[in-house]
Amino acid sequence: MSDQSPSGPSSGPSPDASSGPSAGTAADSPSAASSDAAGTAASPGTAAPLGSGAPPGSSSGDEFVRAALRRTLLPGVATGPNAVRPPLPRRRWIRIPLMVLLTLLAIGFTGGSIAVPMETLHQSADVSVPVGLLEGAPLVVALFRPLLAWRLAASGLLLGALLIGHAGFWPWSPTAWLAFMIMLFCVGAAGDRLVTAGVGMASVAGVVVPASLVAMPIWFGAILSGLVVLALTFGDAVGGRRIAERALREQEELHRRDLARQAVLEERARIARELHDVVAHHMSVIAMQAEAAPYKIPELPEPARATFVVVRDAAREALAETRRVVGLLRAEDEAAERAPQPGLARLDELLRAARRSGLTVTSSVTGMPRPLAPGVDLSAFRIVQESLSNASRYAPRGTARVEVGYGDRALSVAVRDEGPGPGGVPESSGGGHGLVGMRERATMLGGSLTTGPRGDGRPGWSVEAELPYGADG
């Protein structure tokens, strides 16, 4: 069971928190409950976080007991938005059967709690029915309101002990005690250790001890007290593990998002560095043409000469600033690119490299080839390059096809593979963010990128990009 519904106490102060010094501020928030469940918060015997608001000279142990009992017995965490509850799975196919099971158990345990005293202890229905309902029926809400269910069941057990007395070896039916154990487990699984400690103390002092004095041997009461502690401890261990796993999943999701954002930023920086060469080329052409214009046109008026000087100086300044900015985007150990940026004219080189890696690659070009804007040409090349690289990792020894189409308004690029070939073992996990980079390149040009399993019924993966020509196309 992976995801859980919100289960910890809410972050707002509970109504009972005002009746004593800092009754449960550490345990009211989900983060505190999670850290408790993960074993990082103080144990019940450590009262430092609970007694931070205690008056000078008061005993930390006494303050812990008061805070635990106050949070357990007073209103505020049994019902309403601040109610403690165990971490339930979000998947319906797990949650619904669990609810149905507890409902059936509640019906059976309630029936047993009513019938056993009537049959074996010869109690009247006037006593057995209300007491049995209090002992077993609250199990229905134990998953959602475990503290409320415990309060009702504890009241029923105490009432049964006082009313039945020494009519038998002990005043309750086995079904009533089993239902009580399940409710204790649900309380412990809620992850609020202050409530768990309070429920344990109240169950022993308020239910087992009075029953030991009036309705059963003291030694048997000691055994039942141990069972109470065992049920709460087991529930705390299970719930704590679930809460810790949920917190870990949340951290992993945050880490995954951070990695995705970092990949986007890195790819944008890479695109900026690559397009620098394109921009630098055009700016250099502008500067050279502005420099040469007065020599090509001797009779050029003086105002026009001054204008060309301004254009030349502006182009040179823009080129210098562009180089400065791109230098900031470049890693410390990354040298400047000296080779011209690639384009679809080097498509055959990509295909040969893919074949050397073990792929069987074919290609086709449709439409009338036309000069492409440098940004479109470079992005198309990078998309094909990344797609073939992915195919070699996840479809080794397989077959891939590259399709380039020159449309009326956009260039279409598609790379499709047919899955791993004979003897090919695909990589189990991805190590990069190639899809992020390809999508960034397509978005930069106002185009689109579609990736996913092939839609023609064949096995394999498909990458399809539409790159508008733009004003230069």
Q: What is the pLDDT of residues 125-182, one digit of tens each?
A: 888 899 999 999 999 988 888 999 999 999 999 998 888 776 678 889 999 999 999 9
- The yes-or-no verdict on residue 386 having pLDDT over 50 is yes
Phi, psi of 161 (to 5 degrees): -65, -40
- Which of 158, 122, 151, 119 shows the shortest CA–CA distance to 137? 151
- CB within 8 A of 233, min separation 6: which ones? 188
Q: Whole-prediction pTM value?
A: 0.51
pLDDT band for position 464 (50/70/90)?
Answer: very high
pLDDT band for position 273 (50/70/90)?
Answer: low
- The yes-or-no verdict on residue 301 having pLDDT over 80 is yes
> What separation in angstroms does the CA of 51 have from each of 9, 33, 60, 64, 290?
19, 17, 6, 7, 79
> What are the residue ranges spanned by the domains of the chain?
15-252, 260-329, 344-468
| Mean pLDDT score across all residues of the chain | 78
Pull the structure tokens for residue 317.
């300044």
Instruction: Between 278 and 193, name the one with better pLDDT.
Output: 193
* pLDDT confidence of residue 232: 93
Q: What is the pLDDT of residues 229-268, one digit of tens each?
A: 999 999 989 888 888 888 888 888 888 888 878 777 777 7
CB atoms within 10 A of CB 177: 17
Residue 397 host element (H or E): none
20 in helix, strand or coil?
coil
402 in helix, strand or coil?
strand
Q: What is the pLDDT of residues 387-432, one digit of tens each?
A: 998 888 888 889 999 999 999 999 999 999 988 888 878 776 655 5
* CA–CA dist 27, 16 (Å, integer): 13
Residue 316 host element (H or E): helix 302-329
- Min mean pLDDT across 163-172, 204-213, 318-327, 452-461 is at 318-327
CB atoms within 10 A of CB 310: 11
- Which of 83, 132, 433 shows the shortest CA–CA distance to 261? 433
* CA–CA dist 9, 32 (Å, integer): 9
Q: How far is CA 430 from the centre of its chain?
A: 19
pLDDT band for position 278 (50/70/90)?
Answer: low
Query: Which CATH homologous superfamily contains domain 344-468?
Result: Histidine kinase-like ATPase, C-terminal domain (3.30.565.10)
* pLDDT confidence of residue 65: 86
Q: Where are the beta strands (DSSP E) in 422-460?
A: 448-453
Q: What angle do CA 367, 379, 355 make, to 5 degrees?
A: 75
Q: How far is CA 404 from the centre of its chain?
A: 39
